[in-house]
Structure formats: C-alpha cells, structure tokens
Structure 1
Amino acid sequence: MYKQRIIDNFIADFYCHSARLVIELDGSQHYTNQGKAHDAAKTEILERYGIYVLRFSNKDIDENFDGVCRMIDRVINERIESLS
C-alpha cells in the first residue's frame, strides 16, 4: 500500500498495486462543484488504467472507522482474487 501515489496527473491518497485500487479520503473541499468535477475526472482517468476507486468521506472515517477498514479489506481481497 502506497500513500500519496502519483498516477497520471493525479495524486492518489492511497494505492494498492496488487488490487489495482485507489482509496480516496474526501474532506469538505470534495463536495463543492469544483471538487466534484475534479474527482469525477480523476476517477474516469484511473478507471481507464483499470484502477478501481473507493471513496470515503472524513465523516465516514470519524464515525465508522472499523467499518471503513473492513470494507477496504474486503475490496482489496475481492480485487486481488478477481485479478488473479
């Protein structure tokens, strides 16, 4: 798992190469019109590379950290299995 990984013209918050998975942690700036447009463009580019993007709001992490961790673990395992 890499933190702050550059992919194309974007910086992914976290990148798991073996699962071809980017994990994005979205603060309030991601919910503005400009933030939403940037995130949509970023997701589109990453998906062209075969990378799945998983997003969590800061609120999700604050209120349900264990659940977020379980989901990340589940998605990583599913992606690794499907890519094998």
Structure 2
Amino acid sequence: MPSRLFVGSLSDQTTSATLREHFEEDFSIDEAVVITDRGTGMSRNFGFVTVTDRKDANAVIDSLHRSELDGREIVVRVATER
C-alpha cells in the first residue's frame, strides 16, 4: 500500500523531476510532484512524494528529512489529509 509524504522548504528551482531523482536515489516511489501557483506557475515551495510501500515511509523520512536538495534543507513528513 502506498504512502504519501509531504516535502517542504523546497527551492524555487526544484522541479518534480529533481524531487523524484532525490528520492529515487535510495527508495522506490510512485510519484513526485512540486505544487505550483495556478496563476503564476511559480513553485509554492512544497510538494508530495508517494512511496511505493507504506512500510518504507519511516525509512524515507529518517533518511531524507533535513537532507539538502537544490541548496535547501528540506522537510519530509507523513502528509495529512485536508
């Protein structure tokens, strides 16, 4: 069962592709998306990554929370439903 993770503090330069690459270095993921402003198309500096296997979610958080991506220290945690 997949697990969705919130990724915050992203750089303006981080794209969905670079986010995916960062996570796929060590883990299997289904999706990585950087959220953009609908009006401007600019990054909102956060995104979501869907980890293929829910049991890997904690390992992903332990490994990548506070890691560096595009010059920024990112935040990784379990996504909450709105």
TM normalised by structure 2 equals: 0.36
Please state which structure has a larger fraction of its residues in strand. Answer: 2
Q: Which structure carries more helix by proportion?
A: 1
Q: Which has the higher contact order (CA 8 A, sep 6+)?
A: 2
TM-score normalised by length of structure 1: 0.36
Larger Rg over CA atoms: 1
